[in-house]
């Protein structure tokens, strides 16, 4: 599962969510993430993954990064 933006670090991802920016998730080839609940995310995209996060979703948007 990836974010709709290619965050280079988990810190940048968390800061964007805390700043109120709309961040959505997608999963290439595996369908769509849940609208409400928890998902696991990895990044950055198209490179060796260096960060992983558990997120809370509400109405299709990430509202919390753990």
Show me where the domains of the chain are located.
2-65
H or E segment and range at residue 17 = helix 10-18
Give 2-58 pLDDT, tens digit per residue.
999 999 999 999 999 999 999 999 888 776 777 899 999 999 999 999 999 999 999
H or E segment and range at residue 12 = helix 10-18
pLDDT of residue 20: 97
Tell me the C-alpha distance between 12 and 31, whole Å: 25
H or E segment and range at residue 58 = strand 51-58
- Give the position of tokens 């809370």: 56
pLDDT of residue 29: 79
Tell me the C-alpha distance between 52 and 2, whole Å: 10
């Amino acid at each position: 599962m990836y974010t709709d933006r290619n965050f280079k670090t988990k810190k940048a991802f968390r800061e964007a969510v805390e700043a109120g920016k709309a961040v959505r998730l997608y999963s290439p080839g595996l369908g769509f993430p849940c609208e409400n609940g928890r998902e696991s995310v990895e990044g950055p995209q198209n490179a060796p993954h260096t960060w992983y996060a558990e997120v809370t979703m509400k109405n299709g948007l990430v509202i919390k990064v753990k």
